Amino acid sequence: MSSDLVALVRRRPDVHAVADGMIAMGEALELRGGEPEPTLVYDTEGRLLISIEDAVQVSAQSEIRRLLGADFAERVTAPVWWVDVRAVADLPDATRVARKFAESLVHWAGGTVYPDGTSEAPARSWKASDQGGPGGGAPGQDGAAYHGGVIGG
């Protein structure tokens, strides 16, 4: 059985950039696939470690409540980008890599990780400023902007 995590992030996530960052910081990983297929992460021996599904925007708080439960939904405010991260069960390093990836995604894009995330963290990316939406930002960039510790405000 796989180990599943959900990263609920504030801004449209760049899965490849975060995974490439992990590789740059010393994780011996190889990426394959991606949009529209899941991004697959392998170890140096060619064994599949994790599968990362494409991000889906969830705009209704009721959907977060329905899918993850009322207690967890209280920690998250919609809209968010939902990213499923699945670790292969029979490789001990897979769960560690999945956790590190999900936490890195939340670190840079803001949000929290299910099932055990605490409160939402603000985005810490240098790109997190006046994105998309009416009146500003670069086209094609979705999500809330980060302004002095407040997301979307």
Rg (CA), the chain: 15
CA distance 101 to 53: 13
Place of tokens 């069960």: 89
Q: How many CB atoms lie within 10 A of CB 82?
A: 22
What pTM was estimated for this model as a whole? Answer: 0.75
The three-state secondary structure class of 32 is strand
CA distance 137 to 71: 34
Whether 15 and 39 have beta carbons less than 8 Å apart is answered as: yes
Q: CA angle 17-46-49, nearest 5°?
A: 60
Instruction: Grade residue 133 by pLDDT with cuts at 50, 70 and 90.
Output: very low
Backbone angles phi, psi at 52, to 5 degrees: -120, 115
Both structure tokens of 29: 């990983």
Sort strands 39-43 and 150-151 into parallel, antiparallel or unpaired: unpaired
Q: List pLDDT tens digits, range 9-32.
A: 999 999 989 999 998 999 999 999
DSSP assignment string, 60-94: -HHHHHHHH-HHHHTT--SSEEEEEEEE-TT-HHH
> Which pLDDT belongs to residue 34?
80
Q: List pLDDT tens digits, range 31-71.
A: 998 878 899 999 999 999 999 999 999 999 999 999 999 98
